[in-house]
Amino acid sequence: MIRTVLFQPDIPQNVGAVLRLGACFNIAVDIVEPCGFIWDDKRLKRAGMDYTEKASLTRHSSWTAFQEYHKGSKGRILLFTTKAATPYHSFEFKPGDHLIFGRESAGVPDEVHEAAGARLIIPMAPEARSLNVAQSVSIAAAEALRQLNHWPA
């Protein structure tokens, strides 16, 4: 229905949490590498518990490899960023959307911004810098599932 995409994630615990979320809500997860950690890191396994094996996971060796993969999709690329003006809750999600979340330390480069069909923001208190990426994925995915009325049975 929708896919979440983590662009070059730095923190294995966040990836584990997103994989667990994906497994629980039947949301596919894409990882655009390189990651900022060793993939078999025990923290990844600890955060994702046994859910990591139940998650629908696709790993892409680079942004270019992800774009090639995405060409076969009808879904839009939606970038969640603090540099957006459109609040996620006022955006209309569609089946097949790819929700992209940037690297914890640096976000995403300009080429990812340029590839996005829309840039969305999760509104926060003015003095706050950003949310944890796993929290952001949870918030965005819940709204997309709510709009599409696509909760797991």
> Tens digits of per-residue pLDDT, 86-136?
999 999 999 999 999 999 999 999 999 999 999 999 999 999 988 999 999
DSSP character string of 49-94: GGGGGTS-EEEESSHHHHHHHHTT--PPEEEE-TT--EEGGGS---
67-88: pLDDT as tens digits: 999 998 889 999 999 999 999 9
**How many Å apart are CA 17 and CA 6, to the nearest integer?**
12
Fold of the 3-148 domain:
Alpha/beta knot (3.40.1280)
- The string of DSSP letters for 137-149 reads HHHHHHHHHHHHT
Domain boundaries of the chain, sorted by first residue:
3-148
